Amino acid sequence: MKQLGIKFLNTVEMSSQEAAWYLLRQPMSLSSHEVSYIPTVWLQERYKLRKRKAVMDEENLDEKSTDIWTKSMIQRYEERPSELEDKCLADFVTCYTPVTKKGRPLGTEVNDDASGDDEPAPDNVPYESTSTIGSAYRKRSAP
């Protein structure tokens, strides 16, 4: 299989830019939009994701706890704060991100900006929530 790959690379013509991308393991294209899937199938047909062990340890769940499933986007929408009651499901999913205890959106890494600007933009004002799903939601700068 390796020999077939080598023969293929030796016979394919590519530009110098494409060769540089290939050698440096750089992607040739990037997407500017994040895709969010909303599972609108029946409740009994929806997939569930189990919480990670680190999350369960952080929440101090005992071994007999039944709270082992992560919240889906529809469950978060159903338990949204009163400030977001006028938003439909599609707007809620595309425009708002739940914020963790550390102040970062769920599922994101730490972004170290060189600017050092720690103040949130006016559109990024968190909405306080009294539900059990998190403490706040952050409005995304671009859906």
Mean pLDDT by 10 residues, the chain (143 residues): 83 84 84 78 88 86 85 87 88 81 53 42 46 60 63
Nearest Cα residue to 67 out of 88, 84, 51, 90: 51
Instruction: Give the max Cα distance, the chain.
Output: 62
Q: What is the pLDDT of residue 120?
A: 44
Q: pTM higher than 0.75 for the full model? A: no
- Three-state DSSP class for residue 120: coil
Cα 111 to the chain's mean position, in Å? 14
Distance from C-alpha of 39 to C-alpha of 101, rounded to nearest angstrom: 26
Q: What is the pLDDT of residue 46?
A: 85
Q: What is the pLDDT of residue 30?
A: 78
